[in-house]
Chain A
Amino acid sequence: MAGIRILKDKCVGCKLCVGACPFGAIVMIDKKAEITDACTLCGACVSACKFNAIDFERGAVANAVDVSKYSGIWVFAEQKDGEPESIAYELLGVGRELADARNTALSAVIIGSNLDDACRKLITKGADKVYSVDDASLEKFNDESYSGIFSQLIYKNKPEIVLLGATTYGRSLAPRVASRINTGLTADCTKLEIDPTDGKLLQTRPAFGGNLMATIVCPNHRPQMATVRHKVMKEMEADESRVGEIIRPEVNIPRDLVVKVKDVVKTITEMVPLTEADIIVSGGRGMGDPKNFALISELAEVLGGAVGASRATVDAGWIEYSHQVGQTGQTVGPQVYFACGISGAIQHLAGMSSSDTIIAINKNPDAPIFKVANFGIVGDVMEVLPLLIKEFKSALK
């Protein structure tokens, strides 16, 4: 029977477990730890206890499979108009490492229309095989048809690991497929490794808005599925000499779909969408006024970057929600992130702290944003930004 309990004779009352519990489910009674009903059996306390005083019995699991029957690493190659998205190449980058560690093949799965060029590109970027399901009806992403096809391919070919991007489409497709196949799915991973002792996939991801990292495994079910954050994994250099196999698998393409995509509307008119941008210039309430946001756009334009915003400015109606960075907005990881007049609330940091270089401009030297900034300027954005724009303009001319 599954369950968790404190071994009272081993508990020394150090309270380490109390602090480690993300759910506040451990209390001290008579100087010993006690687990309350709020416990979700996440197991965080077990690794925190230095005295082996917490006994955690997981018990049997349902729907376990014979894991030895599964092999190969798969990545889902998201595409638009027949062109793979950059996330597909990032997945191939990490997939290559995993495949080499497991000594197995790396395959890309692409679903769409007119995919011949795309298949070739996926091979130069690391795929050994490409499963291409190419049909005019599949041009646009559709949850119903794509999940139907992807599940069929997984059932038939039994890959051990399946990775998808943690994008709008990936985060819709992956849970649908995992639920159909009855396997585990770890969302939004930022690190993937093979456990050298048993070959399992170690999936590390942020939780609680980036305050806590968790490493998750899927020991008894296959495939081990994960979505991976954009801009975290590195692409391989394209190698034109790579050879690979293009497979056109026999699948039943769902025809009478009940889910219909009627229209695809682009509202973000800038050249670079937020999640794709290498440089992001973000403004916060410290910009003072919606008019002053022009400075943010101007710097972004000079640098060829995108415009971001804090929630405070979105709530005030200064800028559209699609620009919001943070826990309730977009997660971004550009090479350079400018935070202008942003205080650096934890919810904002959750969406941008994985940026390579963070620059903070804020008039308050104690603003929390400076704690994560690589370069800080204590100053007035209205003064510093125009000067900065001037500097870059003359340097980049």
Chain B
Amino acid sequence: MNVIVCVKQVPGTNEVKMNKETNTIIREGVEAIINPFDTYAVEEGARIKEETGGKATVLSMGIPSVAELLKETISVGMDEAVLLSDRAFAGSDSLATSYALSMGIKKIGDCDLIICGKQAMDGDTAQVGPGLAEKLGIPHTTYVRKIEEIKDGYIRCQRMTEDGYEVIEMPLPAVITVVKEINEPRLPSLKGKMKAKKTEVTVWTADDIGADKALCGLSGSPTQVVKTFVPEHNVDSEMIVGTPEEQARNLARKLLSMQFAIQVQEDE
């Protein structure tokens, strides 16, 4: 079974700090990482390929330096890496990204399952997976927490919902987006690292994948960012002091005296 895993490069937000005076993000020392959700997608792709045979390809759209990150995924089970990189892709929103990735997937060809992360950590949109499925004209399931069965032309998987899960069946090819619960990503093996070193990442431009440039990047993006700003966290903070007994009593009183649901329930 051939799988394609879509991964995105994001800034490692662990280190993101805000400069309160200038209202901007302090960038120093922020390294680029693979979107954390996508590491679960990579692991799931590797497992499916190992169990069913076939090929696992990692695909990304991004700047040239993303190639280095893609090599890392070779060391944890991917066979080939494809990077879509072209100035024409700059400024893509989720619609233009879905389009470009769909063209890349068509060019790779012969694919049974496409796996995306649930969402990317920078934009948190969760839109590319379903948007991509639509552009390819194939079904999708989001928030997959388990693949129960996958065989020729068919997948049965569990989608996480707010209060449990659903069991969904779809024909292949299809797109799934995965949540963290689905697996535990492996660490790179020594052999994997050697393989990664030797692997050449295939880089394709918009022309290479036959993409209509008007549908890529800024011109293919209906949404525009008009303003960015740092949210204000002006909280009235009150520290409740005293012995633990006093603290507990004071806090309970304060909460009960406010117009909260706690009160409403008291009346019921």
Tell me whether A175 and B130 are in contact (CB under 8 A).
yes
The reply on A149 being an interface residue by CB < 8 A is no
Tell me whether A278 and B131 are in contact (CB under 8 A).
no
Tell me whether B219 and A2 are in contact (CB under 8 A).
yes
Q: Cα distance A47–B224 when bound, in Å?
A: 13
Contacts A321-B181, A395-B266 known; A20 to B95 CB distance under 8 Å? no
Q: Which of A171, A184, A353 contacts B126 (CB 8 A)?
A: A171
The reply on B170 being an interface residue by CB < 8 A is yes
Contact segment of B11-19, B51-59, B192-200: B11-19
In the complex, per-residue mask of B234-268: 1 if CB is within 8 Å of any chain A CB, else 0: 01111111001101110110111010111001100
Tell me whether B227 and A168 are in contact (CB under 8 A).
no
The reply on A206 being an interface residue by CB < 8 A is yes
Tell me whether A24 and B30 are in contact (CB under 8 A).
yes
Contact segment of A102-110, A211-219, A234-242: A211-219
Q: Cα distance A24–B31 when bound, in Å?
A: 10
Q: Which of A167, A215, A262, A375 contacts B169 (CB 8 A)?
A: A262
The reply on B189 being an interface residue by CB < 8 A is no
Q: Which residue from chain A places its CB closest to the CB of B131 in the assembled complex?
A: A179
Q: Contacts of A217 on B, CB cut-off 8 Å? A: 223-224, 226
A333 vs chain B, min Cβ distance (A):
13
Tell me whether B135 and A377 are in contact (CB under 8 A).
no
The reply on B161 being an interface residue by CB < 8 A is yes
Query: Most A CB atoms within 10 A — which of B225, B237, B252?
Result: B225
Q: Cα distance A279–B24 when bound, in Å?
A: 33
Q: Which residues between 116 and 149 of chain A lie within 8 Å of chain B, taking CB atoms?
A: 143-144, 147
Contacts A213-B231, A395-B266 known; A179 to B134 CB distance under 8 Å? yes
Tell me whether B93 and A265 are in contact (CB under 8 A).
no
The reply on B156 being an interface residue by CB < 8 A is yes
Q: Which residues between 128 and 173 of chain B lie within 8 Å of chain A, taking CB atoms?
A: 128-135, 139-143, 156, 159-171
Tell me whether A168 and B134 are in contact (CB under 8 A).
no
The reply on B230 being an interface residue by CB < 8 A is yes
In the complex, per-residue mask of B196-233: 1 if CB is within 8 Å of any chain A CB, else 0: 00000000000000001011011111111111111101
Q: Contacts of A214 on B, CB cut-off 8 Å? A: 225, 227-228
Contact segment of A91-99, A153-161, A282-290, A381-389: A381-389
Q: Cα distance A384–B238 when bound, in Å?
A: 17
A and B contact pairs by CB, cutoff 8 A, 26 listed = A16-B24, A20-B25, A24-B27, A39-B90, A43-B225, A62-B219, A171-B127, A171-B142, A172-B130, A183-B222, A184-B222, A202-B226, A215-B228, A259-B139, A261-B168, A322-B160, A327-B124, A346-B14, A359-B255, A370-B237, A371-B237, A375-B238, A384-B248, A388-B251, A388-B252, A391-B249
Smallest CB-CB A-B distances: 7 pairs? A19-B24, A41-B91, A184-B222, A387-B248, A391-B252, A184-B223, A179-B134
Given contacts A173-B130, A175-B98, A374-B236, 10 further A-B contacts (CB under 8 A): A16-B24, A61-B218, A62-B212, A62-B219, A259-B170, A261-B168, A266-B164, A328-B180, A357-B258, A376-B240
* A residues lining the B interface (CB < 8 Å): 2, 16, 18-24, 37-44, 47-48, 58-63, 143-144, 147, 167-169, 171-176, 178-180, 182-188, 202, 206-221, 258-268, 273-276, 278-279, 303-304, 321-322, 327-328, 335-336, 346-347, 353, 357-359, 370-380, 383-384, 387-388, 390-392, 395-396
